[in-house]
Amino acid sequence: MLDIHDCSVRSVFLIGNVGIKMTQPQRVAFVSLGCAKNLVDSEKMLGQLAEAGCAITVDESAADVIVVNTCGFLEASRTEADDIIAEAVANKQQGGAQRVVVAGCLVQRDKQAMLDRIPGIDAIVGVNNRDDVVRAVLGKPSSGIERNPDVFLSDYHPFVQLDTARLRITPRHYAYLRISEGCDQKCTFCTIPSIRGRMHCKPPSVVMAEARELVSDGVVEISLIGQDTTSYGLGEDPIEGGLAGLLRQLNRLDGLKWIRLMYVYPSVLTDDMLNAVAQCDRVCNYIDIPLQHINDRILKAMHRRVDRRATEMLLEKIRDRIPGVTIRTTLISGFPGETQAEHDELVQFVKDFQFDALGVFPYSLEPDTPAGRMPDQISDTVKRERTEELMLTQQEVAFRAADACVGTTFPVLVDSVDQDGHAVARHQGQAPTVDGVVQVARAGAAPGAFIDVRCTARENYDLIASPTQVSLPVLDT
């Protein structure tokens, strides 16, 4: 597996020319937008470009080709993607790059609208066609499907696209491992099933092979991702043991220290899965469980398959079965028809349950979804106010919980260290990029090492800590 973590962020660099022979390497600037699932797609495409002999650069002004891997999930992400694509096209029109390639969800969702909005794109690559990225970048014919721009877009959902030959853009010591593609849930606000298709799972042998490859590349922490990780192995092609079995297999992998479970769907989280989390010593006591709301009527309108009572029983069970568990959730504020009383119920729930971490998104109207067609859409102003109130409510909860950590000791994984030896690290209850961090002065350890620290203070959502003892570098284990 190739990686680029050691390269300076603003440098142009070449990667071994191991694939297609080119007289001159194409310099490719790659912009990755959106969530961890899209990031894995980006890493996979970067790996293929590198193997084809392309030089990857972070400097768009030095690039021959600019690739933008888009997110089309919410209106805000589409606006962001449009701006970045328009910038890339302007760069080309001013004599910079020679070619602009757009990939990802936005392409799959509505290519024509995107091409109408932003003329000047040279090639598009859908989510099921990421193996075509080299042809898109090199400007080769697109199998006669359509020209000008070159189109690599298919509705066919491959059983599974392997995530090998990745050029990772996460730090060397942690990585995302995608265990499935697509989603069989039918949440009324969500466009993902229409973009990514039905759920397909990687067989455990493939997941394990990828995990072994990541570990041999220096990874000590793997976050399992998928649109709905709990449904792993359910559905048309059942996999014996499902997610719980996979967690147990991963737990036996030498060299892997932390396994983190993301994107749990409430109604599919079974006792067996909870037991696996509780019993496997390398599986973090961490559950990321997007709940979206707590009011019964709203949950039903969202088609979430759980009600308030079932949700509360499940949350109680999680805390009961996994001592010291960190529970993270995400909520949607201002769903169509949400009354003030239903919003107040959600605020009170956040106060009462005391999540360890919580994200709130204002409802985003997605035209081709059942929720997008519902009456009584909430105004942007009210959505913003309600979102703000929920976030402030959680802030109080989070600050109180962080204050309670002062004086305690716990192990952390070092993510980065600056020139003064000041480390940014995470404890087991903090997932990369979405949660707070632990700042450790004079850590005396390199990225990828585990150290024991004592928490001395809180700074906003972050903890301040001092090392008590430095572990051996984990990469040697």
Q: How far is the CB of 187 from ligand SF4 (least distance, A)?
A: 3
Q: How far is the CB of 205 from ligand SF4 (least distance, A)?
A: 25
Choose which of 39, 192, 284, 294 interacts with ligand SF4 (CB under 6 A): 192
In the sheet with 283-288, reading across from the earlier edge strand, the strands are 174-178, 221-225, 258-261, 283-288, 326-333, 357-362
Choose which of 185, 249, 285, 330 interacts with ligand SF4 (CB under 6 A): 185
Residue 81 touching ligand SF4 (CB under 6 A): no
Contacts of 51 (CB under 8 A, 6+ apart): 2, 18, 19, 165
Contact yes or no for 455/410 (Cβ under 8 A): yes
Contacts of 383 (CB under 8 A, 6+ apart): 333, 334, 362, 363
Residue 40 touching ligand SF4 (CB under 6 A): no
Amino acid found at 110: D
Bridge partner list, 259: 222, 283
* Closer by beta carbon to ligand SF4, 183 or else 239: 183
Of the candidates 169, 135, 173, which has an alpha carbon nearest to the alpha carbon of residue 151? 135
* Closer by beta carbon to ligand SF4, 40 or else 455: 40
> What does the alpha-carbon distance between residue 157 and residue 358 come to, in Å, rounded to a whole number?
32
**Eight-class DSSP state of 213:** H
| Segment interacting with ligand SF4 (CB under 6 A) among 155-163, 184-192, 248-256, 388-396 | 184-192
What separation, in Å, do the N-terminal and C-terminal C-alpha atoms of the chain show?
A: 19
Choose which of 3, 228, 356, 415 interacts with ligand SF4 (CB under 6 A): 228
Choose which of 232, 265, 349, 355 interacts with ligand SF4 (CB under 6 A): 265
* Closer by beta carbon to ligand SF4, 303 or else 308: 303
Q: How far is the CB of 193 from ligand SF4 (least distance, A)?
A: 5
Choose which of 1, 29, 74, 187 interacts with ligand SF4 (CB under 6 A): 187
Of the candidates 450, 19, 24, which has an alpha carbon nearest to the alpha carbon of residue 440? 450
Residue 193 touching ligand SF4 (CB under 6 A): yes
Residue 474 touching ligand SF4 (CB under 6 A): no
DSSP E strands: which ranges in 271-336? 283-288, 326-333
Q: How far is the CB of 185 from ligand SF4 (least distance, A)?
A: 4
> What does the alpha-carbon distance between residue 236 and residue 140 come to, in Å, rounded to a whole number?
37
Sites for ligand SF4 among residues 124-163 (CB under 6 A): none
Q: How far is the CB of 315 from ligand SF4 (least distance, A)?
A: 18
> What does the alpha-carbon distance between residue 123 and residue 373 come to, in Å, rounded to a whole number?
32
Choose which of 88, 165, 190, 414 interacts with ligand SF4 (CB under 6 A): 190
Interaction site with ligand SF4 (CB under 6 A): 183, 185, 187, 190, 192-193, 227-228, 265
